[in-house]
Structure 1
Amino acid sequence: MKEDGSVDYEQLKELAEWHVQEGSDAIIACGTTGEASTLVDEEHLAVIDTVVKQVNGRIPVIAGTGSNDTKHGIFLSVEAEKLGVDGLLIVTPYYNKATKKSLVAHYEAICSQVNLPVILYSVPSRTALNLTVEMVTELKKIPNVKGIKEASGDISQIVAMARLVDEDFALYSGNDDQVLPMLSVGGSGVISTIGNIAPKQTSQMIHHYFAGELEAAKEIQLAQIPLIQVIFSEVNPVPVKKAVGLLKGIETNYRLPLGQPEDETVANLQKEMTAYGLL
């Protein structure tokens, strides 16, 4: 965001290009680690369009198009498909939650209007709606539902969810501090917050794991923990956005209700980013 609150599309292009060069395996445009919830539809779609055009097919671009209004979710998903994204990340409805029956109907309604692969997103700490194994068992019957970003933090649920993994359904970690545990039971990777400032290392961790280089993967996972703790010391995405600003020399502005992090948080970010070799 610029100081006047408008979206800084030029900086967005530079960040997208940096991620390509650093080895990110994909980019989520308008995910929930950001301020998509404060964007009007025209801005939301313009951000997606900007990232798609900058990346230009070099890595997949996945658009966040979830909503607590099914009709709105359909609109964003259909428009994102027109812009050329490779997939959709669709968070569960929030605030006006849903029963199992209506939740399935919600996802069916959105998925029926697009031809893109869809990743479900369960983050009950933010939405107050947990995608249980029973719910996901039903949802994965929808033909273009191809995976889930699981951010419940409940290891028992994650292990149970891993039993649903097959060649048509992938399990992604939604928590940076649980990546290797999830990979160990059949996960495919992470949709990451720390990846916004350490994309190369985070991607390397995943690739090390699948190459059988378990010690190298574990070393990266454990080394990231202190920085992850600072990134989540205030409400996401306030600290990680400040961290991006520190890393790239970008002025950091927020849209209310988000605001600047506490001075202590900034100091801790500088300390841990330096210790991790980012600054």
Structure 2
Amino acid sequence: MISGSIVALVTPMHDDGSVDWQALSRLVEWHVEQGTDGIVAVGTTGESATLAMDEHKMVIKACVDQAAGRLKVIAGTGANSTAEAIELTATAHDVGADACLLVTPYYNKPTQEGLFQHFTAIANAVDIPQILYNVPGRTGCDMSNDTVVRLAEHPNIIAIKDATGDVPRGKALIDAVGGKLDVLSGDDGTAMELMLQGGKGNISVTANIAPAGMKAVCDAAMAGDRAAAEAANAPLLELHKVLFIESNPIPVKWAMYAMGLMENGIRLPLTVLSEACQPTVRSALDRAGLLDA
């Protein structure tokens, strides 16, 4: 099963925007050492929107090869073209990914029936565990709980990443699917509470810079230990907020640069974190004890 602390991994880049393959390998290795349960390669945080198709496939393969079975690798293979999503998902299957993460189609705003048919077509086409991903604030497309319940009947659809930040809605979905698929949080600020309500893990931006801390939160919350989960989450609360001071992954990539984990590369139309916001992020890193990490 895919559960626990799962990092929505950035795609490290050189200052010219080219992929830094050596840094990517180092980051995967670091997450193995820190106890991260899984990584999402080339999701939203991995700048899937601006990686070319060939690069997208190469990053997935590089993560699978470096992980070498020591943690789960979930390939971000969603698209607003069903055919493109099937192509990426087939590649993930072929290179040995453990599962795929499929975001709701963005911009073209399908109906609920369109969403059902889109995800069903992908699940029928490629025999690999698949995780739905609902993040309406980013895509302009909101998949209803009823549609998720319908999709839960497909054997290849095993989970959903719920990034709505709406814990009561997430709890209602957990109850509605009746164990037919797992509900994972995709919102760091509310992840602890959703896991205490029965969520099976968190696909996290914060885990890029505080993997051990996020692992502790997930382990405690999934065990139902509220006191331990709150204690582990307390040092991360400010990070959960400041990492979205500008559009993700702008702040987290700059934070990783400040920590010495990679160069300061990002691709247009995203830009390097503004000078006005840099002191805020640096202060949060310092208070979390991460600048000496």
2:272 is matched by which residue type in structure 1? Q
Could you say if the C-alpha distance between residues 158 and 167 of structure 1 is closer, same or farther in structure 2, counting changes exceeding 3 Å? closer
Looking at structure 1, the residues matched to 206 and 28 of structure 2 have their Cα atoms a distance apart, in angstroms, of 15
CA RMSD of aligned residues (A): 1.3
Could you say if the C-alpha distance between residues 94 and 210 of structure 1 is closer, same or farther in structure 2, counting changes exceeding 3 Å? closer
1:23-42 correspondence runs (5 A): 23-42=35-54
Superposition TM-score, scaled by structure 1 size: 0.96
CA deviation vs aligned residue, 1:77-126 (integer Å, no higher than 9, x gap):
00111010000000000000111111111011111111111110000001
Which runs of 5 or more residues in structure 1 are unaligned?
none
Residue of structure 1 in register with 2:172 after alignment: 160
After TM superposition, give the deviation of residue 45 of structure 1 in Å: 0.5
Looking at structure 2, the residues matched to 174 and 224 of structure 1 have their Cα atoms a distance apart, in angstroms, of 15
Residue of structure 2 in register with 1:197 after alignment: 209
Looking at structure 2, the residues matched to 121 and 42 of structure 1 have their Cα atoms a distance apart, in angstroms, of 23
Contact 2:109 2:140 in 1 (8 A): yes
Could you say if the C-alpha distance between residues 11 and 153 of structure 1 is closer, same or farther in structure 2, counting changes exceeding 3 Å? same
- Name the % identity: 40
User: Which range moved further: 113-122 or 203-212?
Assistant: 203-212
Contact 2:188 2:202 in 1 (8 A): yes
Residue of structure 2 in register with 1:54 after alignment: 66
Superposition TM-score, scaled by structure 2 size: 0.92
Alignment partner of 1:69 out of 55, 75, 81 = 81
After TM superposition, give the deviation of residue 155 of structure 1 in Å: 2.8
User: Which range moved further: 4-13 or 157-166?
Assistant: 157-166
Alignment partner of 1:112 out of 121, 124, 131 = 124
Looking at structure 1, the residues matched to 238 and 158 of structure 2 have their Cα atoms a distance apart, in angstroms, of 32
Greater RCO (CA < 8 Å, at least 6 residues apart):
2
Which stretches of structure 1, 4 residues or longer, exceed 4 Å deviation after superposition?
none
Contact 1:28 1:62 in 2 (8 A): yes
CA deviation vs aligned residue, 1:194-218 (integer Å, no higher than 9, x gap):
0111111101111123345431211
Looking at structure 2, the residues matched to 177 and 165 of structure 1 have their Cα atoms a distance apart, in angstroms, of 24
After TM superposition, give the deviation of residue 181 of structure 1 in Å: 1.4
CA deviation vs aligned residue, 1:122-172 (integer Å, no higher than 9, x gap):
000011111111111111122211111001122332221121344441011
Residue of structure 2 in register with 1:171 after alignment: 183
Looking at structure 2, the residues matched to 93 and 274 of structure 1 have their Cα atoms a distance apart, in angstroms, of 38
1:180 is matched by which residue type in structure 2? M
Asked if 1:271 is matched to 2:275, the reply is no
Looking at structure 1, the residues matched to 244 and 282 of structure 2 have their Cα atoms a distance apart, in angstroms, of 14
Could you say if the C-alpha distance between residues 165 and 201 of structure 1 is closer, same or farther in structure 2, counting changes exceeding 3 Å? farther
1:67 is matched by which residue type in structure 2? A
Asked if 1:231 is matched to 2:253, the reply is no
Which runs of 5 or more residues in structure 2 are unaligned?
1-12
Contact 1:132 1:157 in 2 (8 A): no
2:21 is matched by which residue type in structure 1? Y
2:46 is matched by which residue type in structure 1? G
Residue of structure 2 in register with 1:216 after alignment: 228
